[in-house]
Structure 1
């Protein structure tokens, strides 16, 4: 596995990975209606420009195996860990940990004091394992559908 900085040419593969991951890995914690609201398949194309822009502006790392995108994560310059997704066939192989380690290293270089994120039910145990603490549980609304998640925070040393 190699972890590299985001290139705009990876956008389409990243978006596909996002949809596949949400609709498979998160299905144990969220209903189909919730998954469809979170990652509506009809928005795949419209996400191309907005994600290309936000992934380019953020600190974004992409994990690849044999040239294939198997994970990605991004952090804003203010310390918000926006997205962290690993391909459904590559779960549990240390990819998410490696991506977050890279982001935390960048956060230290920026002299950020903390990183915050909004973790899904599925991702909460992973973030807790890495030392993130729950600030609060919350309900977010996407397309009129309510989804539970957790605002989490980690102090950067």
Structure 2
């Protein structure tokens, strides 16, 4: 089972939308606890039209993972250093898909001189990101009502590490 990572194209939008929705509905059950209001709010912007816009934006960097010819995951980096999306199909979890997506995003961030990445992560995914060097700065409310963890990672080793809350108070 090889995992191929490549830059996303608008033609990937339909399959990527399916990956997003499956990952949230099936893979994040523990986070939304099958609460219809939270689930629907979380899925609300995961539409073909939105994914197409995210992938078409020249300022975003989107990558997809293919495993055995099928789309297995995607990640999206914004110019502000936000990891806006990082989702894997349930059967792709613990198979290296997420790690490979993050490696690609971090490489691109460094090439764009982005020294820190940040994100909101559902609690079930936070340990994965923490194993890869992301700092959990505590709970925050996501725009769709789910309590998430705010995580960040320093990419530029020459910059002194910041305090836990992603501010410059430690300087």
- TM over 0.5, yes or no? yes
Q: Give me the CA root mean square deviation.
A: 1.5
**Cα distance, 1:102–1:51 mapped onto 2, change above 3 Å:** same
Q: Per-residue deviation at 1:138?
A: 1.1
Give the match for residue 65 of structure 1: 67
Larger gyration radius, structure 1 or structure 2 = 2
**Cα distance, 1:127–1:109 mapped onto 2, change above 3 Å:** same
* Structure 2 unaligned spans of 5+: 157-171
**Residue of structure 1 aligned with 2:102, choices 68, 93, 100:** 100
Give the match for residue 151 of structure 1: 150
Q: Per-residue deviation at 1:92?
A: 0.3
**Residue of structure 1 aligned with 2:40, choices 33, 36, 41:** 36
* Structure 1 unaligned spans of 5+: none
1:69-96, Cα deviation, whole Å (9 max, x unpaired)? 0010010122110000111111100110
1:90-118, Cα deviation, whole Å (9 max, x unpaired)? 11001101100110001111111100111
8 Å CA contact 2:16, 2:51 repeated in 1:
no
Instruction: Tell me which protein shows more helix as a share of its residues.
Output: 1
Paired residues in the alignment total: 150
How many Å separate the matches in 2 of 1:141 and 1:151? 13
Give the match for residue 48 of structure 1: 48
Instruction: Tell me which protein shows more strand as a share of its residues.
Output: 1
Give the match for residue 85 of structure 1: 87
Q: TM-score, normalised by structure 1?
A: 0.89
SS of the residue corresponding to residue 29 of structure 1 reads helix
Q: TM-score, normalised by structure 2?
A: 0.82
**Residue of structure 2 aligned with 1:75, choices 74, 77, 93:** 77
SS of the residue corresponding to residue 116 of structure 1 reads strand
Matches within 5 A, 1:11-30: 11-30=13-32
SS of the residue corresponding to residue 32 of structure 2 reads coil
